Structure 1
Amino acid sequence: MTTTFLLVRHAAHDNVGCYLAGRTGDVPLGAAGREQAQRLSARLSGQGIRAIYASPRKRTQQTAEAIAAVSDVSEVLTTEALDEVDFGEWSGKTFDVLDEDPHWRRWNAVRSLVRAPGGETMLDVQSRAVGLVAALAQRHGQEKIVLVSHADVIKTVVCHVLGLSADAWPRFDIAPASISVVAMGDWGAKILTLNEYV
């Protein structure tokens, strides 16, 4: 029995790469992101998706709704386990400002050990994300399901499946509106595709 997980990063918001959106406000998709979400939904149309789970952030919800609109799934299920990393005091700051912070630089060097101020470590994130995937594999059996989340959250799942430390996150990319496919069964788990961009 194998469950197939399509790990989807939300499509782009207007300021991707400029500031750390994190859990700040309710950042929606920008115009380019809405186009990405449409291409993504076209790519996933007819794929036999049986369930869609998403982070509570607006950008993930909008991406998930675009996928649901072309599938047989009537409801997007929201789960905190797929939420963005809790960056605490760093949320909403520009990367120029963050790059001046020695704590931020250390966090990026050793994410498995360093906690965001008032937030999480990457091991916290990995624990909740991997726990969700394991629970959903039991619930959904041989179905194909979509999980719409955020780059760092998806990276923690990929690192876990590949047996890599959470500190291996810079070794691969998870682009906006990309799909990474994980198969999980009683035999274990494996990555089928990584960062497939449409």
Structure 2
Amino acid sequence: MTTTFFLVRHAAHDDVGRFLAGRADGVALSEPGRAQARRLGTRMAREDFSTIYASPRQRAQQTAAAIAAANGGGPVRTADELDEVDFGHWSGKTFDILNGDPGWRRWNSLRSLARTPGGETMLNVQQRAFAFIETLAADPGDRRLVLVSHADVIKSVVSHVLGLPADAWPRFDVAPASVTTVVLGEWGAKVLTLNEIIP
């Protein structure tokens, strides 16, 4: 038997690309992001999934709620394992400020060894996210699941499945409101789709 995971990056908020949202409070979807989330709901309606799990961040919860609303209004289960990277003291800072920080530059060039200030490493992120996926895959009752998370978390899962190092993260994109499909079975795991962008 196999379990299919639809890894959904949350839709856009107002400051995508301007500051590092991380785990900062109050980062909600923008109006275009809410429209993206509604389109995601329509897209996911053809997948016949059983359950939606989402990061506790507001933007992920809003995205998951839109998917649920378009698919019968079932509950969204919050999963801390899908939470954004704990960026520690970097959360909420603009990229203009971060780009002057040697630690930030090291993080982006050598994530396999770097740690965020007061936060976690990408290997920590990968371990918690993939362990959660393995736990869900072991449950015979759930075969098709939606997991709403964040770009770096999804990238860490994809890298693990493909046998790529943590430092391979810049080699592929995971855009806001995109869907990446991963399948797990007794034979292992594989990526079926990557960064499917909903028009």
**Deviation of the 1:46 alpha carbon:** 3.2
Instruction: List 4+ stretches of structure 1 deviating above 4 A.
Output: none
Q: Which residue is equivalent to 1:125?
A: 125
Q: How does 1:142-153 map to 2 (within 5 A)?
A: 143-153=143-153
Q: TM-score, normalised by structure 2?
A: 0.97
Instruction: Give me the whole-angstrom Cα distance separating, in 1, the residues matched to 2:196 and 2:113.
Output: 30
Q: Residues 98-152 of structure 1: CA distance to partner in whole angstroms, max 9, x if unpaired?
A: 0000110001111111110000100000000000000000125561100000000
Aligned positions of 1:91-110 closer than 5 A: 91-110=91-110
Which residue is equivalent to 1:111? Answer: 111
Give 2:32's aligned residue: 32
Change (3 A) 1:3 1:72: farther
Give percent identity, aligned residues only: 63
Higher mean C-alpha deviation, range 173-182 or range 141-150: 141-150
Kept in 1: contact 2:38–2:70 (CA 8 A): no
String of CA shifts for 1:29-57, please: whole Å, max 9, x gaps: 00110010011111111321101000000
Q: Is the 8 A contact 1:8 1:179 kept in 2?
A: yes
Q: Aligned to 2:106, what secondary structure does the other structure show? A: helix
Instruction: Give the direction of change, closer, same or farther, for the CA distance of 1:41–1:154 in structure 2 (3 Å limit).
Output: same
Q: How many residues align?
A: 198
| CA distances 1:128-184 after superposition (whole Å, capped 9, x unpaired) | 000000000012556110000000000000000000011100000000000000010
C-alpha contact 1:49 1:72 (8 A) present in aligned 2: no
1:48 and 1:78 mapped to 2: Cα distance?
20
Which runs of 5 or more residues in structure 1 are unaligned? Answer: none
Mapping for residues 16-95 of structure 1, pairs under 5 Å: 16-72=16-72, 74-95=74-95
The letter for the 2-side match of 1:156 is S
Structure 2 runs not aligned, ≥5 long: none
Distance 1:172 1:191 in 2: 13
Q: Match of 1:11?
A: 11
Residue type matched to 2:66 in 1?
A: A
SS in structure 2 opposite 1:117?
coil
Question: How many Å separate the matches in 2 of 1:74 and 1:129?
Answer: 23
What is the root-mean-square deviation of aligned Cα atoms in Å?
1.0
